[in-house]
Copies of this chain bind each other. A is one copy, B any other.
């Protein structure tokens, strides 16, 4: 195991010796240069240069206790939605002269726990996390120890944790209503594990929209649980569905995110060419940048990724240790494109009234 012992680096003591001053003076040059006589300051700076001295941030932080680093734990760094969120976070943080360190949990609770601990040990001032598992207890524990925590893309189950999220039930309902209005009476939902709250909520929204229409969700909605929420996962799942259907694949598919939808399209094209692809109505989620650029432009539920990140960082920065938690909820929006509009199908209008939830 290639652990490493940091080699000996120059320290304030070395610099002090080299410059013929005391460590206190070196520290002053570093932190309050104006209090040091120009001549000595010059000597110290020369010594710093000479030894290529870089202050040890750990020691400094250990002593001074001031920090400007924020950690973020995202679900999947390869999902453009999350990188867009990260960008929003960075924008806000940079404006406040803080810096962001990123990690990707891949919905693996062990990884999430590891990064949680790592960031806490590294002494971040706060943590932005998109929780994969439902268990927020470790997060509350971290917060109790003085690390500011903001939940991202997850309405906080425990109200003492601040959060920024999108109304996922509304989003699911938006997507379902769209397909129902187009006349579909059987909806296949390619979902993720219900331990991810977004997944559970979107399903709920879908079922509610169906019920609102006077239909029986148990009959109308078929849920398929994927384990990997990316193009590969969508591809495999759709492949199985087509195989199992004896040539009659689902007519209308809802996907828990756009990556999965891309996979669905890939599978359809592979198995039945453009003919098959254009015969199934498909709705994605997130409205990632390239959704409109696809061979089959993707109808999708838009979430304001950038704003979400920005706002989350905002909450984190604004929040003093003892203050009450805040919750920001954005509303999703349906963007209709070709993928849901099968040629020859009646079209009843794309929009929709306001959501139930």
Contact = CB atoms under 8 A, between A and B. Distances in A.
A293 B99 CA distance: 35
A342 interface: no
A277 to B, nearest CB: 11
A183 interface: no
Nearest to A114: B99
A34 to B, nearest CB: 19
Contacts of A219: none
A77 to B, nearest CB: 5
Interface string A125-167: 1100000000000000100111010000000000000000000
Q: What number of copies of this chain does the assembly contain?
A: 2
A116 to B, nearest CB: 10
B297 A54 contact: no
Contacts of A188: none
Interface residues of A, number: 71
Interface in A269-302: 289-290, 293-295, 297
Interface in A196-220: none
B122 A67 contact: no
A24 B343 CA distance: 75
A5 B265 contact: no
Nearest to A108: B94
A128 B248 CA distance: 49
A104 interface: yes
A121 B57 contact: yes
Contact of A87 (B77, B103, B118): B77
B104 A103 contact: no
Given A102-B77, A145-B52, A62 B65 contact: no
Contact of A262 (B103, B231, B293): B293
A122 B57 contact: yes
Interface in A47-95: 52, 54-62, 65-69, 77-78, 80, 83-84, 86-87, 90, 94
A123 interface: yes
15 contacts: A4-B67, A4-B126, A5-B65, A7-B145, A54-B120, A56-B121, A58-B59, A58-B123, A77-B86, A78-B87, A80-B80, A102-B102, A122-B122, A231-B289, A295-B295
